[in-house]
Structure 1
Amino acid sequence: MSFQTYLRTNTSLADEDIDLICSVAMSRSLHRNELLLQQGQICRHKIFVVDGLLRNYGIAEDGSEHILQFSPQHTWTLDVESYDRQTPSQYNIAAVERSEVLLWTKADFDVLLSDIPAFKMLSQQLISHNIYNSRQRLLTALSATPEEKYEDFVRNFPDLLSRLPLHMIASYLGISLKTLTRIRHAQIHR
């Protein structure tokens, strides 16, 4: 199983700990565009993407979609505020393509964190990494030109370019589809 390989590669967990972590996970298959979390619901699970690609997004009052994050295979995702506080989510999590995920309830995950120190250490490392990435993304969103935003996306997510429709990339970058098309066209002709 690829999740077990992920744990063996990224932690020093004993086999019995890996077996325990896997034993409380629920497996779920998602169709393209299927919602895993809908705005207004409480985020009740930690989510690991075994295969596929998810997106976390909000919808503005005008109906436009603002993508906060893409989660490709072998990454974790959730709406952290809704999960931690057990309050209704302001965001949606949906499959961009057919995806396989593992889910842990908050109660089960909290027990795993308290019982398995190496798993707690992995969780803390992931939180630190996400904070760093979020800060970098915020700085880029606030200060970079549309061209720089796109170059940053290409540099950080080269494998996602062929998997995402252009409107989703534009939404993630906070630019119009027209601007993204112009940038891509200019790069091709350089």
Structure 2
Amino acid sequence: MAAAFESYFREQGKLNEADIEQMISMAEIKMLHRNELLLQQGQVSRHKIFVVKGLLRMYGEMENGSEHTLRFSPENSWTLDVESYDLQAPAKSNIAAVEDSEVLLWKKADFEHLLATMPQLNALSKLVISQNIYNSRKRLAIALSATPEEKYDDFIQTYPGLLSRVPLRMIASYLGISLKTLTRIRHAQVHR
């Protein structure tokens, strides 16, 4: 676990070994089973989450039981319900493991302390936030204007390694299309 986390920060070129060790010492290590909830709608998001191993997804559940997948978080990515975390208000979405996963969790006060004492982490955090904003804007534009085929192509480009790891119903939910439409698109691509 620590090796994967250290590798992430070495690739980012931001933190030294002592900083990484301090971050790990302040984190809670949590193992999640497939489909296990890490955050449930209505709870307050109290942790920054780093995915060491596995795959998480953030999704909302509608009153009629349908789901809308908002994002996937594979290895070496950060996730949380931002609004709930920042405002300490009830979450409007769930975060669950798509497959067995290992995550690091930092309490809000602990992570804010790390940000205040580690300028490199603060800079990386701002970069991650900016990238998430850009990705969200791109996703919104595609959701509003792209054809189902273009949405699927973008998913493959955005998450190249996830197609074999994510159930089709979750991909359809992420794309905002029916499972039937997704199956048709995939079938057409295979026969090209």
TM-score when normalising by structure 1? 0.98
Alpha carbons 1:50, 1:73 under 8 Å: kept: yes
Give 3-state SS (helix, strand or coil) of 1:103's partner: strand
Counting matched residue pairs gives 190
Alpha carbons 2:14, 2:124 under 8 Å: kept: no
Aligned to 2:114, which of 112, 117, 120?
Answer: 112
| One-letter amino acid matched to 2:138 | Q
TM-score when normalising by structure 2? 0.97
Match of 1:170 in 2: 172
Match of 1:26 in 2: 28
Aligned to 1:84, which of 78, 83, 86?
Answer: 86
| One-letter amino acid matched to 1:157 | Y
Instruction: Give 1:83 shift.
Output: 0.3
Between the aligned residues of both structures, percent identity stands at 66
Residues 14-69 of structure 1: CA deviation (Å, up to 9, x unaligned): 22111111110110000000000000000000000000000000011211000000
- CA distance in 2 between counterparts of 1:57 and 1:50 reads 20
Structure 1: gaps (5+ residues): none
Match of 2:146 in 1: 144
Match of 1:71 in 2: 73
- CA distance in 1 between counterparts of 2:27 and 2:13 reads 18
Structure 2: gaps (5+ residues): none
Instruction: Give 1:152 shift.
Output: 0.8
- CA distance in 2 between counterparts of 1:15 and 1:31 reads 30
Alpha carbons 1:52, 1:98 under 8 Å: kept: yes
| One-letter amino acid matched to 1:64 | S
- CA distance in 1 between counterparts of 2:20 and 2:35 reads 31
Match of 2:95 in 1: 93
- CA distance in 2 between counterparts of 1:32 and 1:60 reads 21
Give 3-state SS (helix, strand or coil) of 2:43's partner: coil
Give 3-state SS (helix, strand or coil) of 2:72's partner: strand
